[in-house]
Amino acid sequence: MLLGAHVPSKSPLAAADERGAQVLQLNLSSPRAWRDPVPRPDAADLWADPRPIYVHAPYLINVVSADPDVRSRSSHSLQVTCTAAATIGAAGVIVHTGHGPKGEDVEVGRGRWRSVLERLETHVPVLLESTAGGQRPVARTTDQVLALFEALDGVAVPLGFCLDTCHLYAGGEELVAATERLRAHLGRIDLVHLNDSRDPRGSSRDRHANLGGGTCPPQELTAAVAAADAPTVIETPGDATDHTADLAWIRERLGAG
């Protein structure tokens, strides 16, 4: 099982080394702005690095929005992110599943996702990540995640699932049971975002905490990672020192298990 971290976009390989990361995740453009990625001078180094590298798409992407402009920008942003991810040999592009408008059947949002993916051109897998915060999510609970993947059955682009422990917990799920059910129905979990939660189970709030410093039961976090059996990336607060401590926290518990 590979354990790593989301690292700064500047000098990501050095940042991963500093954290002792066996796998890394980064942004290729601002996560909170509609800006296209630009060519990276370290693209060849990223491609050559033996560790799996994942790219997180901008957080603004919401393909199920009621606003046609937001949907258009979201579709474009996902496409250019996937194209840029291919230039560094990325193992996958993670994207949040988003939130629909008030009063709209969630089935409409699933249809919008299918429409976007049918137009997407990429050989880099797209990893859909469930959400925690916001209103009217298209995929917060386990039932919603499974319904979305059922609606996307047969799309041509490579598709996978990214499990976020904070998101599942904030969505009201028991982490181990939810992880086991998702893996059983989807066939595999492609990536884990391992984050503790600042808020209680069922809060619907996406606020990450350092491992062991939040409200998630430590045994649930550890057992969920083991049950997922997938590359695992922390997205916890702080700098390299904090991330190194978080990785040591999970390594120690997995080793003890």
Q: The tokens 């996937």 sit on which residue?
A: 82
List, as one string, the DSSP characters of 165-199: HHHHHHTT--HHHHHHHHHHHHS---EEEE-EESS
- At 86 the pLDDT is 98
pLDDT digits (tens, 9 = 90+) for 78-117: 999 999 999 999 999 999 999 999 889 999 999 999 999 9
Q: Is 77 helix (H, G, I), strand (E, B) or coil?
A: helix
Tell me how far CA of residue 233 lies from CA of 1, 32, 51, 246, in angstroms: 11, 20, 12, 10
Tell me how far CA of residue 65 lies from CA of 48, 95, 120, 131, 137, in angstroms: 38, 14, 18, 14, 10
pLDDT digits (tens, 9 = 90+) for 145-168: 999 999 999 999 999 999 999 999
The C-alpha atoms of residue 238 and residue 132 are separated, in whole angstroms, by 21
* Per-domain boundaries in the chain: 25-32+56-142, 158-257
Tell me how far CA of residue 142 lies from CA of 28, 92, 204, 223, in angstroms: 29, 22, 14, 17
Quickly state the pLDDT bin for 257 (edges 50, 70, 90): low
Class of domain 158-257: alpha beta
pLDDT digits (tens, 9 = 90+) for 47-88: 999 999 999 999 999 999 999 999 999 999 999 999 999 999
Are 168 and 137 within 8 A, CB to CB? no
Estimate the crossing angle of helix 175-186 against helix 218-228, to 10 degrees: 10
- At 165 the pLDDT is 98
Provide φ and ψ at 193, rounded to 5°: -95, 110
The C-alpha atoms of residue 173 and residue 184 are separated, in whole angstroms, by 16
Q: Which residues pair with 17 in a beta bridge?
A: none
